Structure 1
Amino acid sequence: MLIESFSSIASAQSGSPSLVLPAGEEALWENVSESYDEVYREPTEAVPVSKLLMPWEASRAVALALPLGELQEDRALDALFKDSLAALLPRVEVIAFHHRLDRRILGSFWAELEADARIAPFLGRLSLESSEAFSIWMRDFGPQFAVGEDQSLVLLDASVGDPGASRGLLFDVKTTEDPIQQHFRMVEELSNLRGLEGSDRIPSLLAGNLEAKWGVATALSRPPLFLQGGDFLPVSSSGALVSESTLRANGGVSQRFRALVREYYGVDTIVFLENLPGKTIEHLDFIVHPIQENVVLLADPPEGIASTRAYHRYLKRELQSRFARNESSVRKAFPGVKIVKVPMPPPALDSDEEVRRELFLNALQAFIGQERIAMRFDPASALENWEAFEINPRIEARLKEVTGISNWRMEIDQIRVIETYLGDSFENLLAKHVEPQVNYRSYVNSLYVKNPEGEEVVLIPRFRGRDGSEQAMFEALETKVAAAYRSACPKAEQIWIDCTVLTDFMGMIHCYTLAIPDPSTFAKEL
C-alpha cells in the first residue's frame, strides 16, 4: 500500500525521519486501502473468453481522458483535443472522462464545444463522465476487449502501475540532498502515484457506463499482470506483440507471463520486441501498429540524426539494429502478415545552443558552490524557464569579477564560464553530451476506427518544424506517410492531427485514444 511503502522508504534512509500518522489513522488508511484494492485492483479469476477483439473490427465509440484544467491553460493542447473530437464525433460516439475536481470547469468547456461548428451538431454523441483520471493516456489504463463465452463484453483490466518504477521514483526522491526540494518532490511523486491509482479505476467505470448506456452485459477480468495498452498489441485473436519493458515489469519470467496471457486473453503466441533506446517512451505503439487484419505498420529508422556527438551515434546504431531485429521477429512469428514501412522523423534532440545553456547553468551551480554562496539553485528549473531566468545581481557581479566576463547572456561569456567551472573545453563537453530525455516523434502512433456503418478513418499525427528546414522535412515525410497508410488502409479517410504539443510528453494519438468495440454483433442484451 502507498502509505506503507512511503513509511518503509523513509525509515530505510539513514537519518531520515519516518512518516508518523496520528494514533488510529494508520489503521483507518489500511482499511480504506484494502477495501479500495479489493474492489478496483485485486486480480480476479479469469473470465472465459471466446475471442479477443481486434482494433480493426467495428467500433461504436472512442474513449478519451480530458484534462479540463490543463486545456484552459494550454491552448495548443486544447486545440488537439478539439480537433480529435471534430474528427471522431461525426463517425462514432465519444466517452470522455474528466477528473471529478474539474467539474466546475464543465460549463465553460461545454460552451466552447457548442460554439465550435465542427463539433456542435454532434454533441449528442459525446458523453462526459466524472472520474479519477489523472492522465490523458487512455491507452495505458484502458482495458483490452474480448467476447466472453457467454457473449458478454469482457474488459481485460491489467494493472497499469509498474511497482519497480514506482519504488525507483521514491528512492530517487529520498536521495535528493536539499530537504526542501526533497519534500516537494516527494509530495509530487506521491500525488502522481495516487493519480495513477485513480486512473487504474477507468476500466471499472467504463464497464458500468457501457452496461448502463448500451444495455449490454459486461464483465471485468483482472489478470495479475502489469500491462500498459501501448505495450500489448494484438496481431490476431491468438497472437500479440509485447514489449521487453513489459516483460521486465512483470518480473522477467516469460513462462509465467505467457501462461497468464493464455489464461486471461486466450492468446497463445507472444512475441517480445525491443523498445526505443534512451530514456524515453518505452511503448511499442510508437514503432509498431497492427492496423488491419494481416497488416502491421513498422516504423523505419529515422534519417537525419547528426553524427557529431557520441550519444547520437549510439542512438542511430541502436535504432537501426533494434528495428531490424523487431522486423525479423514479426516476420518469423507471423509469416502471412503484410508489413508496411512508415517513415519515422528524427527525435527532437538538443541543439548546440540548448546544450550550451544547460552546461552554463551547471557551471553556474558549480560557481555558487565554490564561492560558498548561501542560496539554493536548481539548474533544471532555470533551464525550463530560460527566457525569464535572471541571475541574482550580487552573484552576477561576483561572477564577472572572478571570470572577467561582461555579459553572461553572450555565447562567448557562457563558454568561458563553462570551461572555467566544468573543467573541459566546450567542444569536448558538447561531443559527450547525453540528452536527459529523448523525445521521439512517430507517425505509426495513429488511431484507426471503423464505425458500425463500415466507414473507416485513420487519425495520423502531424508535426510542425522548429525552423524552415525542419518544416520542409516534415512535409516531405508526410507524402510518404500518406502513401504508406493508403497501402495499409486503402478505404480509410486520412485526418491529420497536429501533435507537436505532445512531443515532450512522449505520446501521440494512439496513446490518448481507445476504440471501444461495437457489441451489437455478439453481446447479449440485458
Structure 2
Amino acid sequence: ANEWEAQQALILSISFSEALEDLENIRNLASILNVAHNYLDIYVFGDQEEYKQYAQFLSLISQHPNFESIMENTRFIDSRRLLRWTRDFGPIFGFGIEGQLATIDPVYRDMMKPLEEKALHAEEPLSPLRDLFNLHGDAMPSEVAALMQTEFNLPIDIARPPVSMDGGDFISDGQGNVFISRQTLIRNGGNRSELESIFKNYFGAKQLHILEALPGRTVPHLDMIVKFLDQETIVLPEFQAPAGKAINAYYTDLNRQARQAIDHNERYLRKLFPKHKFLKVPMPPILVKSREEIVAEARQKFVQAYALEKALVDADTINRLNDTQLIELERQVLRAVKQEMPSADFDSTAAFDAVLRHYGQLPLDAYIDHYSEPATRYRSYINSVFLHAKDGKQAFLVPRFTSSDSQESALLSKWEAEVEKAYTSAWPKANIHWINCDSMVSDFGFLHCATVTVPLLERN
C-alpha cells in the first residue's frame, strides 16, 4: 500500500511508564493526536496492565483543550509493552493477489543493543526490559491484523518473510521498486540475490535497490533521508554545513560521510529515474554541543570524580542530586581544591584547564579533540507522515526543531518555509502541521518512525 493513497487510520504505540519519565513524550503524542484525529481514526496500542501509569497518562492528556474531540476518534488498544517506534516493528500493509488487505511482518530485532554490550564488554545484558519491549514489538503486527479483522469483518492475510528489517528502512515507490539501506543487506547476511528473491516473493518487488543510510551512532533508516510523495516525486535532503568549523576531526568526518551518503543516493536515484520530479529540502546540521557546553560537561565530570575520590559523596547519592545540589557540590569541591591550589577557579576556562593539568587529567583542548556524543543527533524534515482522509482532506505532519541560538533559530524558520513549499508543490491542498520534535532528536527518530497508516478499508 502506498503512503500517499487514501487511508483509514493512524496507528501509534506507547509504553505508559516510559512516556511518564519525560513529559515531553506526552506533549509530543498529544500534539500528534490533536492534529491526526481531524483526518483519521487513531489506534494507540499499549499495555493497560500498567493501569496506574495508564490512568496517570490519561489524566495528563485530559488537560488538553481538545481532549473530548480527540477521544471521539482515538481508541487505546490493550496490547503489550511497546516502545513508541511503531514504524519499525509494526506491520507493512499491502494487498494480496485477489486484492485483499495483507500485513507483512518482517523479523524485528534491536541491533544496537548487542553492539553496545559487546563494546562495553558487558557481562550482564544491558536493560533486560529492552529485550522484553523488542519481543513484544515483534509480535505487534498480528495484533494489528486481528484488530482490523474484527473492526471491519474482513479477512486479512499475514505474511512473515524470512527477513530481518526495521520498517523505517523499507521504502516503496508503488511501482515495484523497493529501497533498503546497505545495513539491512548486511543484517541479512549480505547475499543480495537471496534478499531480492525474498522481496519479490513477499513484497511484490520487481527490483531491489540498495542505498546509503546516515553514518554515526544512529539508526540507519532510509526514511530519514528519502521520501516518495507519489509514484514520480521524490524528496531528498540538502544537507546543511555547520555554521562554523566542526569542533574536532570526528565531527568533521561525520559531516563528510553524511554528505557523501546523501550525494550518493541522489546520483543513483536521478540516474534510475531521469523523468521523476526531485524536491530538495534543507536538512539541518548535525546537532552537537558547543565548546562552552563541552567545557561545562568536563567540569561536571571532574567535580563528580573528585567528590567520589575524596568521599564527599557516595556513588548512589551522586546520581540522584538535583541541579541545586550539584551546584553546591561544585562549590564544595572548589573549596577543597583551593586548599591545594589557592589560585584554582572553575569559572575561567584557562584556570579550570590548569586545575585539570594539576590533577593529571586530560587538558581541555585534548578533551575537546577527543569529544564525541553517545548519539549522532540528526534532524530531518523528511521523517514526516502524510495523512490522506477518505473525504479527500490531506495533511503533512512535519517535525519542528527549535534553538535557543537566535541565528540558528532564524535559519530554522527559513528552512521551514522551504520545506512547506516543497510539500505543498506536490500536494497543493495539503495542510502543513508542525510538531515540535526537539525531545526526539537524541532518540534517533521522528514522526514517520512513530506512526503507521492503514490503507482505506470498506467494512464487510
State TM-score, norm by structure 2.
0.89
- Alignment equivalent of 1:125, drawn from 73, 76, 80: 73
How far, CA to CA, are the matches of 2:385 and 2:16 in structure 1?
22
- Alignment equivalent of 2:164, drawn from 226, 230, 233: 226
**Map of 1:282-293 to 2, 5 A cutoff?**
282-293=220-231
Deviation at 1:338, TM superposition (A): 1.4
Task: Sort the Cα spacing of 1:375 and 1:59 in 2 relative to 1 into closer, same or farther, 3 A.
Answer: same
Q: Tell me, yes or no, if structure 1 residue 311 matches structure 2 residue 258.
A: no
- Alignment equivalent of 2:357, drawn from 400, 412, 419: 419
Q: Tell me, yes or no, if structure 1 residue 74 matches structure 2 residue 16.
A: no
For 1:252, the equivalent position in structure 2 comes to: 190
For 1:453, the equivalent position in structure 2 comes to: 391
Q: Tell me, yes or no, if structure 1 residue 54 matches structure 2 residue 2.
A: yes
Deviation at 1:336, TM superposition (A): 3.3
- Alignment equivalent of 2:218, drawn from 258, 277, 280: 280
Q: Tell me, yes or no, if structure 1 residue 491 matches structure 2 residue 455.
A: no
For 2:51, the equivalent position in structure 1 comes to: 103
Task: Sort the Cα spacing of 1:253 and 1:386 in 2 relative to 1 into closer, same or farther, 3 A.
Answer: farther
For 1:337, the equivalent position in structure 2 comes to: 276
235-244 or 432-441, which moves further after superposition?
A: 432-441
Can you list the C-alpha shifts for 1:406-437, whole angstroms capped at 9, x where unaligned? 44465444322333456654234324433332
- Alignment equivalent of 1:212, drawn from 128, 150, 157: 150
How far, CA to CA, are the matches of 1:501 and 1:213 in structure 2?
34
Q: Tell me, yes or no, if structure 1 residue 328 matches structure 2 residue 275.
A: no
The two structures, once aligned, show a CA RMSD in angstroms of 3.0
Deviation at 1:86, TM superposition (A): 1.1
Q: Tell me, yes or no, if structure 1 residue 142 matches structure 2 residue 142.
A: no
Contact 1:237 1:266 in 2 (8 A): no
Deviation at 1:296, TM superposition (A): 1.2
Contact 2:303 2:330 in 1 (8 A): no
301-310 or 439-448, which moves further after superposition?
A: 301-310
Contact 2:255 2:286 in 1 (8 A): no
Contact 2:48 2:54 in 1 (8 A): no
How far, CA to CA, are the matches of 1:495 and 1:212 in structure 2?
32
461-470 or 226-235, which moves further after superposition?
A: 461-470
3-state SS in 2 of match to 1:457: strand
Contact 1:103 1:130 in 2 (8 A): no
The alignment covers a number of residue pairs equal to: 457
Task: Sort the Cα spacing of 1:375 and 1:68 in 2 relative to 1 into closer, same or farther, 3 A.
Answer: closer
308-317 or 355-364, which moves further after superposition?
A: 355-364
Deviation at 1:392, TM superposition (A): 8.5
Contact 2:107 2:138 in 1 (8 A): yes
- Alignment equivalent of 1:83, drawn from 31, 34, 37: 31
Deviation at 1:447, TM superposition (A): 0.4
Contact 2:171 2:178 in 1 (8 A): yes
Task: Sort the Cα spacing of 1:303 and 1:212 in 2 relative to 1 into closer, same or farther, 3 A.
Answer: same
How far, CA to CA, are the matches of 2:351 and 2:277 in structure 1?
56
Can you list the C-alpha shifts for 1:449-468, whole angstroms capped at 9, x where unaligned? 11112211111111121232
Q: Tell me, yes or no, if structure 1 residue 167 matches structure 2 residue 105.
A: no
Q: Which has the higher helix share?
A: 1
Deviation at 1:238, TM superposition (A): 0.6
Contact 1:356 1:414 in 2 (8 A): no
Contact 2:334 2:345 in 1 (8 A): no
For 1:353, the equivalent position in structure 2 comes to: 292
Q: Which amino acid aligns with 2:280?
A: K
Deviation at 1:310, TM superposition (A): 2.1
71-80 or 458-467, which moves further after superposition?
A: 71-80
Task: Sort the Cα spacing of 1:494 and 1:366 in 2 relative to 1 into closer, same or farther, 3 A.
Answer: closer
3-state SS in 2 of match to 1:278: coil
> Where does structure 2 lack aligned partners over 5 or more consecutive residues?
none
How far, CA to CA, are the matches of 2:361 and 2:285 in structure 1?
32
For 2:237, the equivalent position in structure 1 comes to: 299
Contact 2:10 2:40 in 1 (8 A): yes
Q: Which amino acid aligns with 1:345?
A: P
Q: Which amino acid aligns with 2:408?
A: E
Percent identity at matched positions?
A: 26
How far, CA to CA, are the matches of 2:225 and 2:258 in structure 1?
10
> Where does structure 1 lack aligned partners over 5 or more consecutive residues?
1-52, 177-181
3-state SS in 1 of match to 2:42: strand
Q: Which amino acid aligns with 1:340?
A: L
Deviation at 1:325, TM superposition (A): 0.6
Task: Sort the Cα spacing of 1:411 and 1:388 in 2 relative to 1 into closer, same or farther, 3 A.
Answer: farther
Q: Which amino acid aligns with 2:115?
A: G
- Alignment equivalent of 2:137, drawn from 174, 178, 199: 199
Contact 1:285 1:510 in 2 (8 A): yes
Deviation at 1:364, TM superposition (A): 5.8
Deviation at 1:372, TM superposition (A): 8.9
Can you list the C-alpha shifts for 1:477-518, whole angstroms capped at 9, x where unaligned? 111111111223222111111111111212111111111111
Q: Which amino acid aligns with 1:160?
A: Y
Contact 1:94 1:127 in 2 (8 A): yes
Deviation at 1:115, TM superposition (A): 5.3
Can you list the C-alpha shifts for 1:46-88, whole angstroms capped at 9, x where unaligned? xxxxxxx111111100001133334445332222111111111
Contact 1:463 1:474 in 2 (8 A): yes
3-state SS in 2 of match to 1:149: coil
For 2:179, the equivalent position in structure 1 comes to: 241
Can you list the C-alpha shifts for 1:115-170, whole angstroms capped at 9, x where unaligned? 544342352321111122431111111111111124321110011105x5443333
How far, CA to CA, are the matches of 1:340 and 1:434 in structure 2?
33
188-197 or 441-450, which moves further after superposition?
A: 188-197
For 2:447, the equivalent position in structure 1 comes to: 509
How far, CA to CA, are the matches of 2:240 and 2:418 in structure 1?
13
Contact 1:364 1:417 in 2 (8 A): no
146-155 or 342-351, which moves further after superposition?
A: 146-155
How far, CA to CA, are the matches of 1:360 and 1:435 in structure 2?
16
3-state SS in 1 of match to 2:127: helix
Deviation at 1:108, TM superposition (A): 4.8
